[in-house]
A and B are shown apart, each in its own frame.
Chain A
Amino acid sequence: MRYAFSTGLPLLYQISKGFTVTAQSSQNILIMFEKSLYDLIRGLRNHKGNEREYIHNSLRECRTEIKGSDMDVKATALLKLVYLEMFGHDMSWASFHVLEVMSSPKYLQKRVGYLGAVQSFRPDTEVLMLATNLLKKDITSPLLPTMSLPMVTIPHIITPSLALSLLSDLLPRTSHSHPTIRKKTIAALYRLALVYPETLRHAWPKIKDLLMDEHEDPSVTAAVINIVCELGWRRPRDFLSLAPRLFDLLVDGGNNWMAIKIIKLFATLTPLEPRLMKKLLPPLSTLIRTTPAMSLLYECINGIVQGGILEGTNGAREGEEIASLCVDKLRGMVIVEGDPNLKYVALLAFNKIVISHPHLVSMHQDVILSCIDDPDISIRLQALDLGASMVNRGILNSVVDRLMRQLSNAPVLTSADLAEIERKRFQGVEPAADSDDEDPAESLRQPDKRADSVPSLPDEYRVTVIRHILGMCSRDTYANITDFDWYIDVLVRLVRLVPSFTEFPEAQPGVNWENRSAELTSADVSSAIGSELRNVAVRVRTVRAEAVGAADSLIAISGREQLFPRTGNGGQGVLPFAAWIVGEYADSLPDRHNTLTSLLHHSVFSSSSETICAYLQAVPKVFASIAARDDESWGTERQSLTSLLLARIAHLYESLTRHPNLEVQERSVEFLELMRVAAEAVASHAEVNNAGPLLLTRALPSLFTGMELNPVAPSAQRKVPLPDGLNLDEPFNHDLAKVLQRANEELVPDPEYAEAERVYHQRPTPKLEIGPAREMIKPANQTGFSYQHNAEEALADVRLAARQRAERNKDDPFYIAHEDTSSGTSTPFHDILKSSNGEVVDIDSIPIMNLDLGDRNPMDDELEKETPKGKHKRVRHFQIATDENIDVEDSAKESTSATANRTIIDSMLPQRSNAKRSLLEVDSSGLVSFSLEDENESITDRRLKSETRKAEEEEMERALKEVERVRLEMQRASERVAVEDGTPLDGTVVKKKKKKKKLPGTATAPQIGVPSGDKRTSGTGSTEAGFVVKAKKKKKVQKPEV
């Protein structure tokens, strides 16, 4: 071995080595295991580079050492294991040895054992059952430090069954003479209660006593307050009775830690007891004005906000006063102090106040918005939330521009940085040797002063900012936007700012999900941008041309490199939406041929299948728009151009028919056939009156044109009234059960079944006979018709089919009849509603936002006349289409069903949160159903919850007396029994057993849910009760004698 540290260390080290070897059974255990841990740590520091191997060897050593019989060695090995566990080396296998060390008689060894239990026991550790007696023994240890060990350990390892058996031992410790024990006991009891709510039935009176006792040690009171605060938010109502005591403690406590917790507790109580607000307001405002402690000041404000005191006192003079006082103080925290922590919490508080008092917060807009550019990202995010919730027409542009600047100016993480992050993220930390550049001997007193650097924005933050921008702008259907040209420009620029999601290489398999989630957010946000762009294109007809232009620029292959320069594929989620826009509004495209070229570019192969689908749909639309042009006469030039286009489309589609994605395959096959038919039509078209083939000029466009697409409210579908005579509850087939049964029975292979089996179970022989469409149509040709005729007939077929379909769907309210190209009001939908519902539903009165420009009021038209379209210098008036909906007359029913819906959702919410519990979460939901108030409360009593407080308290008092009486009774009885048996009255444990044995014998044995082990501190029972007991006792004692 070599020693890297030459400063006098080797000597000491060797001495320690000597101890280990020679003084194996040294009495001084301290030196013993300490040095051994030194050994390990020292060794780690000396084995720089191959720590892994060193640790492996050490673990093996520990394994043998811990199995030995020498307790010193055992404890040392355990301590080393605990140290290595900190670095992620599992030690669950050693749980039995942990138990062995725990049972050591020496305190310092015991302490190691308990530490091992805390750090390594997991819910599935089996030896826990064996620990029960040990824990019981140590809880009752006469030594203070030993007694503390189980108290600190129990919270980590507690289970319901362990709680049940330990409760009776822990309870007496709440009245231990030493305050430290009392504190730790109630903390342990709290954790017991979380897994075993019954604990509170016995522990709560004791905790309450401690709280009420004015002569109690202040630190115990503070600890009790902490626990009461934790319990309080689960069942605030049970704690209202404590309010006077809490109030006194708040006013005269003089302990800021405690005051903070009391205020937090009050914040949950005030909503239940409005009178508390009036009482609390003066002391709180005094505290806010006078306290020098910022934490207390902040919690006062927070308590006022969370306790609903602002809402509660709204309107009243002092309410306004306190609100502005709070907001002023918060403003002070943001600007005056210059402390990032205060800034952060102040923004948190603002975020809560803004819900109830937006006007007060927006007065401080200046400071809040300045925080958006704060170097600290946490502060930025808070300011962003706040900004988003208080943004209005006036400041929207400036806020968004500010955020855009921030996004585009921030330095991008270099690949070196990313590699570093990767390394740290995916490589588990090994207890490596200390690197030379840091000094572990550096005093912690020195606050760290590393150089500040400009923060590069993490991708999550970028995504959040983009989301907020979209959210702010689209709030209330674009209520805040005054200039849509600006908004479209913002959207296009945002696409470039979407962070990329493939810069993280697909690393180790185990951590892939992390990458995936990052990817998803990026992809989501870019499709959110796309969705916004589509929304604008659909809703705001005035700027539709601009929106289409923007979408076109996103699609354009020429700008691809420039548009997605560094983000690679970050913004690609926008493409499906852009493709949809250019397809749907192809007529507004500046250059359709160019767009079509971009759509047909071979780069489409590398896109996501979702994008390809959108492209597949958009291409025929754009093509149809080109083909349907009336302005140009059909000539040879156009014919050849069209067939060229068709050939290109067919070429691309053909290659996509073998795409792995099913949806892509299906769409491409469908459209490919259509394109082939169209190509036939073009090739065989004889020029008549300069008109193109009808398939191209009429049929193809009619596939894609129809009624104007309008935004429809998500709830509209639900509101469609049921047509008469449609009974949704009636089954289609009454004999369904029989049919199914028959299907089951008829497993005998009939020809049909055999056919089906052949299709499903036999591997088909590959049959590649797909030829061009021309060959497929050949049989028709043989009949002697000309191509022309044939095409005409095909067209006629198409028309016939369309007519039939229209006929069939006439009554279908959801079918958009394509003959009806105008977005007029008389659609089949309306007709059917009108005819079937008569006057009950006046459909025409439904405010359907009509997007026709002619619909606008004359003012707008004048405006329009004044400003030449296209070159708009003035602020244009934008009309935004709102969601269409059906207003059924019985709105009452609507609202009830809506609320019913909401309640259903609400009732589902807690379940969901239960199902998805956070990692570190300690579930306290068991406490919700547990009442602290009435010990003998039955289920029927619970129904009478609405009784007055007083009655409940009386009942509780009565119950307490009853319990006390019974307890005394039992005690006397057992004493009597003990005397009779001739056993001395010393051991409490013995007594307990006796009691259990004897109780069944007594006919009047009280059926009370108090375990016999519950030893209350006697002497509290009233004398009155005592008399009653005496009288009863005689009766009872006689029985065993009989």
Chain B
Amino acid sequence: MINAVLVFNNSGQPRLTKFYTQLDTSVQQRLISEIFTLVSHRPNSACNFLPLPPLLASSSKSPTPSQPHNDTPSLITYRHYATLYFILISTSTESPLALLDLIQVFVEALDRLFENVCELDLIFNFETLHAVLGEMVVGGVVVETGLDKVVEGVRGQGKVLKRPTGDGRGGGLGSGFAGFRAVGDGVWSGR
């Protein structure tokens, strides 16, 4: 199952935090900053899997392949889009490559809803961000991976607002959907 979903920007400012277990706010913050430290030092050519940060690694040190399934979070997957990092912390029951696709679906859904989404949209509409996630993952279990259904579900909850016009400096840079897909996507198409 998925243990946490995090979104933060290039300087570590959180934009979305969702923990599927109840954690102290201070512990949450420490975890975020540990993961940010890890992720911000990775070159773009690096793979999208993170080693466990100290907070998580200390308790699950033994990488025993004899116990494939386990409740401990053992997998941290991330993707980097423009100014934002999207991070999924999950147990080994999830497939690493499928999780990467899941992040992609998440971002694509946001892009549909906000029409050429950017960080500002997410800052001002973080409630919508939560709503999108709520359509896809409930209690750490993935319930929907279809882009259309996710978007439909969020729209069913009410009108999705854009950020105030004129805010920021110009709209999105990508002009078509072709420019959207992240590096390496298309190599596997899990959906």
Contact = CB atoms under 8 A, between A and B. Distances in A.
15 contacts: A9-B164, A120-B25, A151-B138, A180-B149, A296-B190, A341-B49, A342-B97, A378-B47, A440-B168, A444-B118, A445-B179, A447-B80, A450-B44, A920-B4, A922-B1
Interface stretch (A220-228, A581-589, A864-872): A220-228
Given A223-B141, A294-B187, A921-B71, A123 B157 contact: no
A378 B50 contact: yes
Nearest to B127: A115
A621 interface: no
B151 interface: no
B4 A339 contact: no
Nearest to A342: B187
A230 B98 CA distance: 16
A735 interface: no
Given A111-B157, A223-B143, A919-B73, 5 more contacts: A148-B157, A152-B134, A223-B141, A441-B167, A921-B59
Interface string A1-39: 000010111001000000000000000001000100110
Interface residues of B, number: 122
B142 A223 contact: yes
A990 B13 CA distance: 51
B159 A30 contact: yes
Contact of A447 (B17, B47, B182): B182
Contacts of A355: 65
B3 A920 contact: yes
Given A121-B22, A233-B69, A448-B80, A256 B14 contact: no
B33 A425 contact: yes
A275 interface: no
A123 B143 contact: no
Nearest to A182: B143
B82 A446 contact: yes
A260 B89 contact: no
Contacts of A190: 139, 141
A174 interface: no
Nearest to B167: A9
A548 interface: no
Contacts of A119: 17-18
A922 B21 contact: yes
Contacts of A428: 29, 33
Given A83-B126, A227-B141, A445-B174, A432 B11 contact: yes
A446 B174 contact: yes
Nearest to B110: A444
A293 interface: yes
Interface in B170-191: 170-174, 179-184, 187-191
A156 B131 CA distance: 15
A477 interface: no
Nearest to A45: B123
Nearest to B161: A34
Contacts of A441: 118-120, 167-172
A438 B10 contact: yes
A948 interface: no
A440 B9 contact: yes
B interface, over-half SS: loop
Contacts of B31: 919-920
B100 A8 contact: no
B47 A442 contact: no
A212 interface: no
Contacts of A827: none
A107 B158 CA distance: 9
Interface string A288-318: 0000111111110010001000000000000
A152 B72 contact: no
A86 B191 contact: no
Nearest to B183: A447
A230 to B, nearest CB: 6
Interface stretch (A344-352, A359-367, A630-638, A1031-1039): A344-352
Interface of B: 1, 3-4, 8-29, 31-34, 36-37, 40-51, 54-56, 58-60, 65, 68-69, 71-73, 80-84, 89, 93, 95-98, 100-101, 107, 110-111, 116-120, 123-124, 126-127, 130-131, 134-135, 138-146, 149, 153, 156-159, 161, 164-174, 179-184, 187-191
Contacts of A440: 9, 83, 118-120, 123, 168
Contacts of A7: 166-167, 169
B59 A442 contact: no
B127 A85 contact: no
A181 to B, nearest CB: 11
Contacts of B23: 122, 919-920
A937 B63 CA distance: 37
Interface string A446-481: 111110110100100000000000000000000000
A92 B22 CA distance: 12
A12 to B, nearest CB: 5
Contacts of A9: 164, 166-167
A650 to B, nearest CB: 47
Contacts of B20: 155-156, 920, 922
Contacts of A342: 97, 187-188
A349 B150 CA distance: 32
Given A8-B166, A429-B14, A923-B71, A293 B82 contact: no
A122 B19 CA distance: 11
Given A156-B20, A429-B33, A446-B173, A375 B45 contact: yes
B83 A455 contact: no
B79 to A, nearest CB: 9
A435 interface: yes
A341 B48 contact: yes
A121 B11 CA distance: 27
A452 B43 contact: yes
B32 A429 contact: yes
Given A183-B143, A260-B98, A442 B83 contact: yes
A218 to B, nearest CB: 9
B124 A41 contact: yes
Contacts of B18: 118-119
Interface in A118-137: 118-123
A183 B144 contact: yes
A438 B11 contact: yes
Interface in A180-199: 180, 183-184, 187-188, 190-191
Contact of B84 (A145, A429, A444): A444
Nearest to A430: B13
Given A88-B28, A155-B20, A435-B11, A376 B119 contact: no
Contacts of B116: 443, 445
B142 to A, nearest CB: 5
Given A219-B146, A440-B123, A455 B111 contact: no
B139 A191 contact: yes
Contacts of B59: 916-919, 921
Task: Please provide the 7 A-B residue pairs with the shortest distance between their CB atoms, ordered closest to farther.
Answer: A155-B139, A294-B188, A443-B172, A441-B168, A445-B174, A295-B97, A340-B47
A345 B96 contact: yes
A445 B173 contact: yes
A230 B83 CA distance: 34
B30 to A, nearest CB: 8
Given A155-B20, A925-B71, A256 B191 contact: yes
A351 B48 CA distance: 19
Contact of B142 (A38, A120, A226, A455): A226
Contacts of A226: 141-143
A115 B130 contact: yes
A384 to B, nearest CB: 12
Given A188-B138, A191-B140, A337 B84 contact: no
Given A148-B134, A424-B12, A918-B73, A90 B141 contact: no
A37 B40 CA distance: 29
A453 B41 CA distance: 10
B29 A429 contact: yes
A230 B72 contact: no
Contact of A306 (B68, B98, B123, B164): B68
